[in-house]
Structure 1
Amino acid sequence: MSAEQNTSRPALGLPPRPSGAPAADAPLARMLSGRRKEAPAKKEEPKDAKTENMTVSIPTALRSRAKAAYKATSYAEGDNTWAHFVAKAIEAETRRREAEHNQGEMYPAWGEKLPGGRRLKDS
């Protein structure tokens, strides 16, 4: 066979690779460098910040939804662990309540234990 390609014959195999980056609306285009919107600088918590364990009961459906959201978005959102995701969610709700009910000021730290169980309804 000759080294020259016969342009009248169709090429067999894979089609030629497209040139250039995918369009901005391509599903994975946001993952390419220069195309991803960079998140604003996040306030990092000190590495030696004291942590405490916490046990709460939440509806199974909510827990499943939250785990699915964490698994699907943890890379894009910068969540290091499930605990980090949960802490960020609590932080966001705490800030919202401080803004709405306390002129954006932090409430004083509450060192005492919270009462357990359900609240009794007023009669």
Structure 2
Amino acid sequence: LDRPIVLAALRVWNYAKTPERGAKEFHLYLDDNLVYAGTLGRYRASLGEDHHQTFLFTEEENLALLEREHVPRSGEADPAEVLYTNDNRVVKGKAERRAVELGPRPTTSVL
């Protein structure tokens, strides 16, 4: 940008063409400073075009209320990453199959 700005929120959409190959770990840098390090949720077609995640950099209540359904919450796990057990035995699940089926991940770019 040509001049300093104040950033209150950032909306991010994950890759939708092949949701299984979307980004997972996500780092956001502003002016060469790391401002967010975490995960990016998968695209879910059931949520339609408006499936985005919002990262808030403000405590503005109106914006927080507007984006509350899109703000990632601490402790929410992707169902594909949950390990299920039955009588102390691991039940083969989505995460295990996915790791075998996907093969190498594509390279990603830095913007």
Same fold (TM over 0.5): no
- TM-score norm. by structure 1 comes to 0.19
Higher helix residue share = 1
Larger Rg: 1
Kindly indicate whether structure 1 or structure 2 has the higher relative contact order, using CA contacts under 8 Å at least 6 residues apart.
2
Structure with greater strand percent: 2
